[in-house]
C-alpha cells in the first residue's frame, strides 16, 4: 500500500513462504509499505523508496523453454545511452547484447537463446558504458543437461543376515546407449537409515551458487513442471548470491594474484636460545623424516639441511602422505647447540558449527525389534547410573537408617569386564588429550614445563589450577581437588594417603600416552579404596577423575638429546578403504552397520555395467541405494531407490 494506505498490489506465496509482486512507485509518493497478515497478526515492512531515474530489468525465464525474455524500462528523467547485457554461468560468458536506449524509448523487449547454456545458475547483468552494474538477476538454466539413466538390481529379492549380496549397476544415456564412466555408490540399511535430502543436483548446480539455508532443496528437482520451475525462480530472486567479481571481469579493478599455488605442505619454524628465547641466525638445521609403521630396514627416509635467516627462521616444503616421525638437530660450526626448535603450527580453526544444511536429515520411521541379548547389553551399560539414582532415592526417604531383610536373589546378568568399564569411562569423558601432541603444542608456544604433569594440564585446560596445602602441591579443577588414576588401577588410601594419592607424580610426562577427564561422581567412587570414606564424601572432595594411560614397557618415547627435537610431520591424509566385513571368512557377530557399501569411484565397463559385492548386516531387510555420476562431457545422473 502507499502512504494513503491504498492497496497497490497483492502477494501470494508459492512455496516455502516465497512469492512475487509488482508495483510502480508514483512521483512524490515514493514510499510504500508491505503488510503481511500471518497467524492473526499483521506485520509491516517499509519498501525501498523509488529513485528519480534509472532502468528496471524484468527477466522471464519461465514462459518459453528455449529463450529468456528481457524487458527494460526507464522513465522520462533517465537520459539515453548505450547499455550492455551479458549472461554468465560459472563465471564464464554465455551471451552478450548491446542495447541502444534512445530518449524516445521507455521500454525495450527482446529474447535471448538459452538452449546452449550449461546447466546451473546463470547471472543476467545489465551495465552502462562505465562498467557499472545497473541491474542483475539470477536464473536457473537446465535445458542443456544430458541426464543419465542409472539402474540397480540384485540377484535376489531379499537377503538373510550376513549373506553375500551381488548387485549390478547399469548406466545409459538418453539414447539408451551404455556409458563408460565413474560414479559414487552407497548402499544403506533402509530400515535404520538417516536420509540426507541433498544430491549432486542440489549441491553442485544450485547450492554452490546461492546463499542462506534452503529447506529440502531436492524438492525443486522432483518434477519438471510449472510449479517447481516457478518456485526455483523465486528462490533465486530471494536468495541470490553474486559469487564472481564483476569489476574484475569488466576491467575496472585489476586482477592481482595474492598467493602463489602451493607446491606441497609448507612447514616453518624458528631457532631461539634456550633461556632468553633470542633468535639464532646462520644456524644449520638438519632434518630426518621416517615413515611411521614401517620396519626400519624398509622404511622410507628423507634427509634435508637448511640454514636459518637473520631472524633465526627456516622453512621447507614436503609432499608426503600420512604421519611421519621427524627429528630436527641444530648445530653451529659442526658442534651441536642446545637451542630450542619452535615450529609454526599452533593454528587450529574454530570448531565447526553444524549448519542447517548438515542437520537436514530424516530418520526412517520403523519399529525396531530388540533381541534379549541387545536388551541385556543396554541394561549393563545403564546399571551404574541406575544404581546411583536408586541410592539417592533411598537416602531421601530415610530407608537406609533401618535394616531391611530381602529375599534371596539370584544374579544372572553378565558382569562387566575391565575392558568394558574402561571403554565406558572413555566414552563418557568430557575431554581427551593426546599427550605427545599437547606437549608439542606447549613446546612450540615457547613454554618450558619440564617433567611436571600439573603444568602440562594447566597449559592444556584453563579449568585447572594449583593450590599449596602445607608442603604439598595439589591440582584443582572447578573449585575441587583432582583424583588421578593411573592405568585404571584403584587408589589405595587405607594405609598412607600420600603414597596412593601422589603415585601419578612418579611417572614421567613422556611416559604418558593419553589423558581422559571424567566428572561422573560414581566413577570417582569406583577408583578409591578407603574403608572409612563414603561415596558422598568422595563426590564432595573431588571435582573430576583424571585417567592417565601410559605407554607399555619398552614403548616409552626417548627424549631428544642436546640440540635434538623429536616430533612428527603431518602429511596429506592417506586414502582409506571403506570397511566391509567378509563373512565367508569371519564368524558372524552383532553387526549394526547403517552403511553396508560405499565407494566414491565405481567404474562401469564398455557395456555400461558395474558389478559389486558386499555382505549384509545382522538385521537389514531392504536396501536404500544412492548412485550419482557426472561424466567428462557434463552428463549428470542421480539414482535413489529404497
Residue 68 shares a structural domain with residue 128? yes
| Residue 603, strand partner residues | 182
Compute the C-alpha angle 380/385/388, nearest 5°.
125
Residue 481 shares a structural domain with residue 533? yes
Residue 36 shares a structural domain with residue 130? no
Q: By CB neighbour count within 10 A (0-12 exposed, 13-18 middle, 19+ buried), where does 161 fall?
A: middle
Final residue of a domain: which of 500, 534, 550? 550
Residue 21 shares a structural domain with residue 102? no
| Residues making up the chain, counted from first to last | 642
Final residue of a domain: which of 550, 576, 593? 550
Q: Residue 442 sits in a domain of what CATH number?
A: 2.170.130
**What is the DSSP secondary-structure string of 12-29?**
EEEETTEEE----PBTTB
The grid cell for 8 is 497497490
Residue 505 shares a structural domain with residue 454? yes
Alpha-carbon span 32 to 24, nearest angstrom: 10
The grid cell for 18 is 516465497
- Count how many domains the chain has: 4
Q: Is residue 641 within 8 Å of residue 625, measured between CB atoms? A: yes
Final residue of a domain: which of 524, 550, 576? 550
Closest CA to 625 of 604, 602, 641: 641
Residue 59 shares a structural domain with residue 33? no
Residue 392 shares a structural domain with residue 476? no
9-13, 150-154, 167-171, 553-557: the lowest-pLDDT one: 553-557
Residue 226 shares a structural domain with residue 83? yes
pLDDT at 298: 61
Sign of the CA dihedral 464, 467, 472, 473? positive
Instruction: Return the percentage of the chain with pLDDT > 70, whole number.
Output: 86
Residue 64 shares a structural domain with residue 19? no
Q: Is residue 439 part of a domain?
A: yes
Average pLDDT, the chain: 83
Q: Is residue 589 part of a domain?
A: no
Q: Is residue 608 part of a domain?
A: no
For residue 83, pLDDT beyond 80? yes
Q: Is residue 292 part of a domain?
A: no
Residue 493 shares a structural domain with residue 382? no
pLDDT at 639: 86
Q: In which residue are the cell numbers 610426562 written?
A: 509
For residue 27, give its domain range: 12-46
Q: Is residue 538 part of a domain?
A: yes
pLDDT per position as a tens digit, 376-419: 444 344 444 444 554 554 454 454 555 566 778 777 766 667 78
For residue 316, pLDDT beyond 80? yes
Instruction: Return the percentage of the chain with pLDDT > 90, whole number.
Output: 33
**Whole-model pTM over 0.75:** no
Alpha-carbon span 83 to 98, nearest angstrom: 6
Q: Residue 72 sits in a domain of what CATH number?
A: 2.60.40.2550
Q: Is residue 327 part of a domain?
A: no
Q: Is residue 613 part of a domain?
A: no
Q: Is residue 311 part of a domain?
A: no
Residue 433 — pLDDT band, cuts 50, 70, 90? very high
Q: Is residue 197 within 8 Å of residue 217, measured between CB atoms? A: yes
Angstrom CA distances, 13 to 21, 36, 100, 231, 234, stand at 10, 11, 36, 9, 10
pLDDT per position as a tens digit, 605-631: 999 999 999 999 998 888 999 999 988
Residue 126 shares a structural domain with residue 243? yes
For residue 293, pLDDT beyond 80? no
pLDDT at 155: 87
pLDDT at 375: 39
pLDDT per position as a tens digit, 199-241: 888 888 888 888 888 888 888 988 888 999 999 999 999 988 7
Residue 136 shares a structural domain with residue 84? yes
Amino acid at each position: 500500500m502507499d502512504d494513503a494506505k491504498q492497496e497497490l498490489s497483492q502477494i501470494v506465496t508459492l512455496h516455502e513462504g516465497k512469492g512475487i509482486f509488482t508495483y510502480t512507485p508514483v512521483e512524490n509518493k515514493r514510499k510504500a509499505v508491505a503488510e503481511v497478515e500471518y497467524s492473526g497478526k499483521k506485520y509491516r515492512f517499509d519498501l525501498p523508496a523509488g529513485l528519480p531515474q534509472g532502468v528496471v530489468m524484468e527477466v522471464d525465464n519461465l514462459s518459453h523453454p528455449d529463450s529468456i525474455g528481457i524487458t527494460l524500462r526507464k522513465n522520462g528523467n533517465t537520459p539515453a545511452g548505450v547499455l550492455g547485457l551479458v549472461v554468465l554461468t560459472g563465471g564464464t560468458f554465455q551471451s552478450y547484447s548491446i542495447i541502444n536506449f534512445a530518449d524516445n524509448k521507455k521500454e525495450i523487449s527482446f529474447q535471448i537463446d538459452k538452449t546452449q547454456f550449461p546447466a546451473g545458475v546463470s547471472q543476467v547483468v545489465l551495465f552502462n558504458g562505465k562498467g557499472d552494474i545497473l541491474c542483475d538477476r539470477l536464473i536457473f538454466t537446465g535445458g542443456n543437461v544430458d541426464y543419465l539413466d542409472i539402474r540397480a538390481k540384485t540377484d535376489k529379492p531379499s537377503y538373510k543376515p550376513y549373506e553375500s549380496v551381488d548387485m549390478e549397476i547399469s548406466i545409459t544415456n538418453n539414447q539408451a546407449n551404455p556409458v563408460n564412466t565413474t560414479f559414487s555408490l552407497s548402499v544403506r540399511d533402509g530400515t535404520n537409515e538417516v536420509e540426507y535430502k541433498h544430491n549432486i543436483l542440489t549441491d553442485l548446480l544450485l547450492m554452490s551458487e546461492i546463499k542462506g539455508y534452503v529447506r529440502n532443496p531436492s524438492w525443486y528437482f522432483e518434477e519438471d513442471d510449472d510449479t517447481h520451475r516457478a518456485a526455483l525462480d523465486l528462490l533465486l530472486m530471494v536468495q541470490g548470491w553474486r559469487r564472481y567479481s564483476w569489476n574484475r571481469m569488466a576491467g575496472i579493478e585489476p586482477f592481482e594474484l595474492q598467493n602463489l599455488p602451493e607446491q606441497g605442505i609448507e612447514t616453518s619454524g624458528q631457532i631461539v636460545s634456550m633461556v632468553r628465547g633470542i633468535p639464532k641466525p646462520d644456524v644449520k638445521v638438519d632434518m630426518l623424516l621416517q615413515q611411521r609403521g614401517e620396519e626400519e630396514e624398509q622404511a622410507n627416509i628423507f634427509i634435508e639441511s637448511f640454514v636459518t635467516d637473520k631472524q633465526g627462521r627456516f622453512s621447507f616444503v614436503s609432499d608426503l602422505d600420512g604421519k611421519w616421525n621427524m627429528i630436527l638437530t641444530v648445530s653451529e660450526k659442526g658442534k651441536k647447540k642446545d637451542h630450542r626448535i619452535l615450529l609454526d603450527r599452533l593454528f587450529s580453526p574454530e570448531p565447526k558449527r553444524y549448519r542447517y544444511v548438515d542437520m537436514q536429515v530424516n530418520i526412517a520411521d520403523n519399529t525396531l525389534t530388540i533381541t534379549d541379548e541387545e536388551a541385556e547389553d543396554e541394561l549393563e551399560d545403564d546399571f551404574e547410573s541406575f544404581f546411583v539414582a536408586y541410592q539417592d532415592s533411598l537416602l531421601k526417604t530415610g530407608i537406609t537408617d533401618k535394616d531391611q531383610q530381602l529375599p534371596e536373589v539370584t544374579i544372572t546378568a553378565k558382569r562387566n569386564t575391565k575392558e568394558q568399564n574402561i571403554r565406558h569411562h572413555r566414552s563418557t569423558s568430557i575431554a581427551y588429550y593426546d599427550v605427545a601432541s599437547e606437549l608439542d603444542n606447549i613446546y612450540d608456544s615457547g613454554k618450558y614445563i619440564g617433567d611436571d604433569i600439573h603444568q602440562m594440564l594447566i597449559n592444556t585446560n584453563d579449568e585447572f589450577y594449583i593450590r599449596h596445602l602445607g608442603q604439598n602441591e595439589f591440582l584443582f579443577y572447578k573449585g575441587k581437588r583432582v583424583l588421578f588414576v593411573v592405568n585404571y588401577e584403584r587408589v589405595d588410601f587405607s594405609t598412607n594417603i600420600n603414597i596412593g594419592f601422589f603415585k601419578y607424580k612418579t611417572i614421567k610426562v613422556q611416559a604418558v600416552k593419553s589423558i581422559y577427564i571424567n566428572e561422573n561422581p560414581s566413577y570417582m567412587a569406583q577408583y578409591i579404596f578407603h574403608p572409612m570414606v563414603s561415596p558422598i564424601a568422595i563426590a564432595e572432595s573431588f571435582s573430576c577423575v583424571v585417567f592417565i594411560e601410559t605407554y607399555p614397557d619398552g614403548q616409552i618415547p626417548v627424549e631428544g638429546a642436546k640440540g635434538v627435537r623429536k616430533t612428527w610431520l603431518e602429511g596429506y591424509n592417506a586414502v582409506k578403504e571403506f570397511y566391509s566385513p567378509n563373512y565367508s571368512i569371519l564368524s558372524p557377530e552383532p553387526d549394526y552397520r547403517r552403511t553396508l557399501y560405499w565407494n566414491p569411484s565405481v567404474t562401469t565397463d564398455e557395456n555400461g555395467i558395474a558389478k559389486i559385492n558386499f555382505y549384509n548386516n545382522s538385521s537389514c531387510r531392504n536396501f536404500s541405494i544412492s548412485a550419482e555420476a557426472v561424466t567428462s562431457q557434463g552428463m549428470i545422473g542421480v539414482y535413489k531407490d529404497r
